[in-house]
Amino acid sequence: MGLTRIRHSSHSEHFLLLKYPKEPYRCEGCKELGFGPGYECEHEDCCFYLHEECANATPSAFHSFLKCSLKFHSRAPQGDGRICDACGQDVLGFVYQCKHKNPHDYHPSCLKLQRTLTAEDGTRLHLKKKLPSKCLNCGSTRTSNGIKGWSYVSSCGQYCFHVACVKDMVLENWKKGYFLQDGSVNEANSYQALESFNPNREVALPSGRRNSSKTKQVWRKAKTAVMLIISALFGDPTALISLLIQQLLSD
């Protein structure tokens, strides 16, 4: 894992350790949620966390989706009101910006999103700059705040989801308390948490009998895709994912 004990300019008074935090955390760099490996201050009282991507941000970066190079800023030079062009969430801290007159903004962790995700059942999802068809969650090719945003699309092209839509879903549930402080799922609410992900049925499901095996198969695939995207977005919340997967396979 490279250097596991570092000093970082954003918290220079203490060393930070690369850990697998027991609970989801708020990254002090980009202010986004994290579940996966991150840097934690050695002094527990500090409760200071940084995403691995935020701690290791480089002064400049490239992404194959973009023609121009990106520069790192600990705050957007233009101030508040910037939106990440990958995930559609607000930019409240660490950000990469391109040099266009009206620049694009990217969270460090969004810039590092894996290009291909593979599920245990072989389902593959590919990160795309443009949605080839409508997002199964919102039924649109644009996100609710009007940006196009990046998406994950299955190899067969049938399952498309905005990164923004999946992130919104998790953050909504986070706020509602479906996820407990220790990162596990509040079991009483976990089914509800999953159901709150509500694909646009007209788009997502083939017409015909509601409980046909074909319909169930589509649902299961759609949910597998969503779980896969969640693990790519927030790190690998193993306990969370396995619990939710169990729920899906049991219906």
Positions that interact with Zn ion (CB under 5 A): 14, 27, 29-30, 41, 43, 46, 48, 51, 54, 68, 84, 86-87, 98, 100, 107, 110, 135, 137-138, 162, 165
Residue 110 or residue 225: which is nearer to Zn ion going by CB? 110
Nearest CA to 38 among 185, 180, 237?
Answer: 237
Quote the least distance from Cβ 98 to Zn ion, whole Å.
3
Q: Which is nearer to Zn ion, 8 or 107 (CB)?
A: 107
Q: Measured from the CB of residue 12, what is the shortest distance to Zn ion in angstroms? A: 10
Nearest to 22 by CA among 175, 240, 233, 229: 240
Three-state DSSP at 101 gives coil
Give the angle subtended at the CA of 18 by the CAs of 224 and 96, to the nearest 5°.
70
137 or 231: CB nearest Zn ion: 137
CB of 49 to Zn ion, least distance (A): 8
CB of 138 or CB of 226, closer to Zn ion: 138
Q: Vertex 108, ends 105 and 113: CA angle to 5°? A: 100
Shortest spacing between CB 232 and Zn ion, in angstroms: 12
Nearer to Zn ion, 138 or 185 (CB): 138
Which amino acid makes up residue 141? T
Shortest distance in whole angstroms from residue 151 CB to Zn ion = 8
Give CA–CA dist 217/194, Å, rounded: 16
AA identity, residue 249: L
Smallest distance from Zn ion to CB 105, Å: 8
The region that residue 34 occupies, defined by phi over 0 for left and psi between -120 and 50 for alpha, beta otherwise, is beta
Whichever of 8 and 51 has its CB closer to Zn ion, that residue is 51
In order, the DSSP letters of 27-62 are -TTT--EE-SSEEEESSGGG--EEEHHHHT--SEE-
Q: How many CB atoms lie within 10 A of CB 23?
A: 12
Contact between 54 and 30 under an 8 Å Cβ cutoff? The reply is yes
* Least Å from the CB of residue 100 to Zn ion: 4
Q: Which is nearer to Zn ion, 157 or 187 (CB)?
A: 157
